[in-house]
Structure 1
Amino acid sequence: MRNERELDWVFLSPAAMLVPSERTGLYRTGQDHLLTDGQGDSRISLEDFAVAMLDEVETPKHHRQRFTVAY
């Protein structure tokens, strides 16, 4: 996909731990690497992962690239 020049694609990756929890609406984005917090944990709730996905659909910020989300 990285060599594709006509299609504007995006690939969203969750944190290492994708867990059911409450929606906070807060998350960080990163590029093609795993995001971790100060303790080395990588997690996001299913609810906030969905928010991040919809945010990208409604206001695209990533084009022809993979990005990841986590707390």
Structure 2
Amino acid sequence: MNQHRSQDFEPLSQQDFLAFGLNDVAYLRDVETEDGVVVGIFAADGTRMAVMKDLSTAAAAVRQNEMEPLSVH
């Protein structure tokens, strides 16, 4: 059995937390533009990577890049 005490773990820095999942997940959310509402694809650290016309297209683009899409409401 693996026993750990809380002092055995280092807390994540804010920068480490932002990088957590950076290459594994992408967040999808609506973005208002001059042309209407589109779906933005964002990295775990909040960097906008792309915009797509709809949710299914955005999710497919994320999966093509071997990442998991997560919806942000």
| Highest RCO, 1 vs 2 (Cα 8 Å, sep ≥ 6) | 1
Higher helix share: 2
Normalised TM-score (structure 1): 0.32
TM-score (normalised: structure 2): 0.31
1 or 2, which has the higher strand percentage? Answer: 2
